[in-house]
Structure 1
Amino acid sequence: MIPTPENSLADVRRRIDAIDAQVVALLAVREEQVRRAAGFKADEQGVRAPARVEQVISKVRGLASEAGASPDVVESVYRAMITAFIDLELSEHRRTDG
């Protein structure tokens, strides 16, 4: 098949770039909510909340299956994202406590 503008690698990359812009915008909104939630947590254990992490992972794996995405990939992405947000929350707690 000869690539056309509609099915070329460049077109796919443009679409991925547009999706990335949406994902980053949503991450910014999620971060805002994470920062708000941090204010309700009294200590490091409250921030780490392992039971909540597993609840979120279970939920997004189900959402991935419903959306036709790989649950394993979605779980990996979410675990990395949650770890980064936990680190952010912990640094916020240390900053405000110290």
Structure 2
Amino acid sequence: MTPCDTLADVRSAIDQIDSMLVGLLAERGRYVHEAARFKRNKAEVAAPDRVRQVIDKALNHAREMGAPPEVVEAVYRSMIAAFIELEANQHDRLTKAALADEGTMAG
């Protein structure tokens, strides 16, 4: 962390971090999109055991890095819920495409 002399400096630093976070969310989203290809059903998309594992890991990192665990948990729960919805939609599209392909091959 670079010390700031003004509120503008603080805001500029936060804007830079936000830009990095959005880039990382975009990258995470691409992997979530890929994960949908490997899931057989909606239960595998939701994966509550995996959600708990990811949140636990994030909380451990939060403690190690001095981040407020309640903020990290809230952010992760919100992020994961949004990505689960995104992945479920992608899973639906893939399932419909596969069924359409099967129908085309059968006829």
Q: What TM-score results when the alignment is normalised by the length of structure 2? A: 0.83
> What value does the CA root-mean-square deviation take over the aligned residues?
0.9
Deviant stretches of 4+, over 6 Å = none
Of residues 61, 72, 75, the one that matches 1:63 is 61
Structure 2 letter corresponding to 1:95: R
Question: Aligned-pair distance for 1:97?
Answer: 2.0
Larger radius of gyration: 2
Greater relative contact order (Cα < 8 A, sep 6+): 2
Q: Any stretches of 5+ residues in structure 1 without a counterpart?
A: 1-5
Describe the superposition over 1:9-59 as per-residue Cα deviations: whole angstroms up to 9, x where unpaired. 111000000000000111111111111111110100000000000000100
Q: Any stretches of 5+ residues in structure 2 without a counterpart?
A: 97-107
Give the number of aligned pairs.
93
Q: 8 Å contact 2:37–2:94 — kept in the other structure? A: no
Q: Indicate yes or no: 2:84 matched with 1:86.
A: yes
Q: What TM-score results when the alignment is normalised by the length of structure 1? A: 0.91
Alignment-derived partner of residue 23 in structure 1: 21
Residues in 2 aligned to 1:32 and 1:72: alpha-carbon distance in whole angstroms:
27
**Identity value in percent:** 52
